[in-house]
Amino acid sequence: MRKINSDATEMIPVRLIVSIAIVAAIAFMVVIASSNLRVLLAEQQVEKECRSLESSLCTMLSSGAARDIDETGAAEGTKRIQTFSLPDSLVYLCFGGDPDFSGTGVFQPDLIEDGTVIVYKVEGGSNKVMWLPKETCKFREGTIVDNKWVIAGTGQSYIIHSGGKITLVFECVQKSHQVYILIHGNDGISP
């Protein structure tokens, strides 16, 4: 007659529970890692677009001509047309300032360091800042006055607050002998 080991039969449910707990822990870590990976990939996509723009604008500023916006009959300045392919998780991309400097979620078009910065944020991530050369890269939002693009108000940043494909025109202009990068577009955010 065979003797049944009662200890072994009691261990089977315990091993099953431990195995299920280990599988659940691994699945949980995979979910966390995938969400972090999505944020990282979205931030890299925005940074790639901004680096491409930075390269194009540096070329424009070093070899292009600036339009004097104080003169009504001045010839157009050198322009660059940039199409951005931005992730849907983009919270904002700002040229010239940090639109949510206070962290309240209310966007303000205030300039930082005379507009020599690009700031962006994707959902789940933190603010990312790209500083540009102070002597040359000074962004300003534009507005149309008498069929000409001019600097909006006394100068404000331009904010993109959604993802997708967006095309912007960047023009080299000067005002009072100071060179700026005028963005042909209006984000609808007032100071």
Q: What is the pLDDT of residues 4-14, one digit of tens each?
A: 666 666 667 77
190 pLDDT tier (thresholds 50, 70, 90): low
| % of the chain surpassing 70 pLDDT | 91
The predicted structure's pLDDT at residue 45? 92
The more confident residue out of 155 and 188 is 155
Q: How far apart are CA 130 and CA 112, in angstroms?
A: 12
The more confident residue out of 31 and 106 is 31
Kind of pairing between the strands at 128-131 and 117-122? antiparallel
Integer CA distances (angstroms), 152 to 101, 104, 167, in order = 21, 24, 19
- Whole-number mean pLDDT of the chain? 84
Q: Which helix (H) or strand (E) holds 169?
A: strand 164-175
Overall average pLDDT of the 48-60 stretch:
90
The predicted structure's pLDDT at residue 25? 86
| % of the chain surpassing 90 pLDDT | 18
Closest CA to 159 of 89, 110, 124: 110
pLDDT 10s digits, 124-181 = 888 888 888 877 788 988 888 888 888 887 888 888 988 889 989 999 998 888 888 9
Overall average pLDDT of the 23-44 stretch:
84
Q: How far apart are CA 83 and CA 32, in angstroms?
A: 32
Q: Is the pLDDT of residue 87 over 90?
A: yes
The predicted structure's pLDDT at residue 90? 92
The predicted structure's pLDDT at residue 186? 60
The predicted structure's pLDDT at residue 176? 84
The predicted structure's pLDDT at residue 119? 92
3-state SS assignment for residue 16: helix
